[in-house]
Amino acid sequence: ADYVMTNTPGMLRAMGGIMTALGVKPEIEAFDTGHLWFAKQLVEEKVLDPDALVQLCMGVPWGAPDDLNT
């Protein structure tokens, strides 16, 4: 079955702001380098605390390859 998970920048900012307000440490799932860039941007905007957890999801189809040398 086809399925698309949509998380717009606005949705992520809203969810991040709620988690920060509640004192919840978020886990960022990064499937490509752009996700890391956006997480850094959210920290700079003070939407997320700098100690947020980041999970690198590599080897997933259409995401970052599972080869750390690339």
**Which position has the higher pLDDT, 70 or 38?**
38
Any domain includes 14: no
Could you report the per-residue pLDDT of 1-60, keeping only the tens digit for each?
Answer: 688 888 999 999 999 999 999 999 999 999 999 999 999 999 999 999 999 999 999 998
Rounded distance between C-alpha atoms, residue 48 and residue 67, angstroms: 28
Residue 8 is encoded by which pair of tokens?
A: 């717009």
Residue 2 lies in a domain: no
Report if residue 41 sits inside a domain: yes
Domain count within the chain: 1
Q: Is residue 46 part of a domain?
A: yes
Does some domain include residue 9? no
pLDDT band at 62 (very low <50, low <70, confident <90, very high): confident
Cα–Cα distance between 47 and 61 in angstroms, integer? 29
Domain that holds residue 52: 25-70
Tokens encoding 58:
């590599």
User: Residue 52 and residue 39: Cα distance in Å, rounded?
Assistant: 9
